[in-house]
Amino acid sequence: MNSTKKAKTALISVFHKDGLAPIVKKLNELGVIIYSTGGTEKFIKELGINVIPVEDLTSYPSILGGRVKTLHPKVFGGILSRRENENDLSQLNEYNIPEIDIVIVDLYPFEKTVLSDATEQDIIEKIDIGGISLIRAAAKNFKDVICVSSMNQYDDFLEIMSNSNGETTLEERKNFAAKSFAISSHYDTAIFNYLNNSEITFRESFDTVSTLRYGENPHQKGYFFGDLDALFDKLHGKELSYNNLLDVDAAVNLINEFKNDTPTFAILKHNNACGLAQRDSLKQAYLDALAGDPTSAFGGVLISNREIDTDTASEIHKLFCEVVIAPSYTSEALEILKGKKNRIILIQKNIELPKNQYRTALNGVLYQEKDNKTDNASGITTATIKQPTTNELEDLFFASKICKHTKSNTIVLVKNKQLCASGTGQTSRVDALNQSITKATHFNFDLKGAVMASDAFFPFPDCVEIADKAGINAVIQPGGSIKDKLSIDYCNDHKMSMIFTGTRHFKH
């Protein structure tokens, strides 16, 4: 069997016409007979190129408002017929069905329509039926037919046609078939996720992939599936690495807690905040965030909830950092930050973040709703006799927001809306607290009057006792331990305030 096929006929039915004209002209130059329908047919005619309407082939008009155009045996028979099968060829001859060697389809933009303000009926009408059927049929019969299933493949296909005088190899056809089934599966997944509101199932598909320099370590391959351009404008610097992306994800989710607050600046390293502060000016917020741990800040990811100005950029430029993220930059600030050629500078766009999370585990996937609950005054109870002051309460909620985005077990210490230190990823809550106190002391923080946040309850009073001896006055924690009373009694005896949120914030 000859694996190289010379194309004699093509069926073209596309939504996007951009980039199609050179293909049509090349096919015409090669003597390929072109069939088409609707808007594509009109487009080809306007190029001055002969085209046969599909209606002339099928002897059926387009019906039901265009819902049925190509769904006919004379179309699908020509696509699915096996050129080496005598029975197939006999039936083509019997029913006067022409072989179709090329199928070019670009589907209705279902996902873009969903993201628009379109009505449900408009969205439903953008579920492509004929196009997806043509793709599947042509891809299935890749031994004889080449299927171009997206406008993103136009250039590659044109190159093949131009370089091979209209011939395709089996390898090329199989490659295009694989891409076709990727298109069709992604399309069906998008439709399912739009319609589904009751079935518990996991269906995710990403059409865009970026090859990373490597994975978590240089010996590991790494890829990112998703559209980063929808979330960021990249203004400067090298490509984001696997580890950069993990830190950027943590940074974006953390700063989202402070989205509408006064100027707030965070510095992250290995997915955890090593500095965070909120001040009247962004420059001061950055300086106080940096003071939280100037050692760990080296090589970190920096993020702001406000436009970065010249004064702030000048301070940032003194630090070696991998990534800087902000909603915007002044022109002077941007020029300063571009002073380091590899520094990645991103503008974060104002789009909604995903509401769910998933990760591989064992031989499957763990899937959950994101922890979208933020502790606030409406959901708390004061467990102690002493009430926290207004300033303490503000610091407690500030600390709780950081705690929620820090690896468990964690303890977070805050004073005057500045992260003093945190204990991160410890197997013991006592270890996390001791780590945070040691770190805060090392960087010369006075913890007298500071507050403490814990991501989970205290099973024993040891943590509040250690905190008290370090000078901490107020505590926020979920509560819920059968031994809560031990911690409450200690706080009452030592004039500490403690509030319960009723919500645990584990992060693994």
Q: How far, in Å, CA of 415 to CA of 447, rounded?
A: 7
b/e burial code for range 486-496 (CB count within 10 A of at least 16 → b): bbbebbbeeeb
Catalytic pick among 8, 140, 186, 317: 140
SS3 for 118-132, per residue? CCHHHHHHCCCCHHH
CB under 8 Å to 72, separation ≥6 — which residues? 54, 57, 58, 60
Residue 485 DSSP label: H
Q: How far, in Å, CA of 281 to CA of 279, rounded?
A: 5
Question: What tokens does 457 get?
Answer: 């309850």
Contact status, residue 477 vs residue 506, Cβ threshold 8 Å:
no
Q: How far, in Å, CA of 473 to CA of 491, rounded?
A: 9
Residue 69 appears among annotated catalytic residues: no
Catalytic pick among 143, 174, 270, 317: 270
Cis peptide before 376 (omega within 30 of 0): no
The whole-angstrom distance between residue 231's C-alpha and the CA centroid of its chain comes to: 8
- Give helix then strand counts, H and E, for the chain: 18, 23
Contact status, residue 316 vs residue 344, Cβ threshold 8 Å:
no
CA distances from 429 to 133, 137, 467 (A): 58, 59, 12
Q: How far, in Å, CA of 326 to CA of 248, rounded?
A: 11
CB under 8 Å to 37, separation ≥6 — which residues? 13, 53, 54, 55, 62, 69, 70
Task: Please state at what angle helix 130-140 crosses helix 73-80, rounded to 10 degrees.
Answer: 30
How many other CB atoms are found less than 10 A from the CB of residue 165?
9
Q: How far, in Å, CA of 220 to CA of 230, rounded?
A: 27
How many other CB atoms are found less than 10 A from the CB of residue 161?
23
Contact status, residue 460 vs residue 483, Cβ threshold 8 Å:
yes
Q: How far, in Å, CA of 485 to CA of 479, rounded?
A: 10
Residue 140 appears among annotated catalytic residues: yes
Q: How far, in Å, CA of 469 to CA of 442, rounded?
A: 17
**Which residues are designated catalytic?**
140, 270
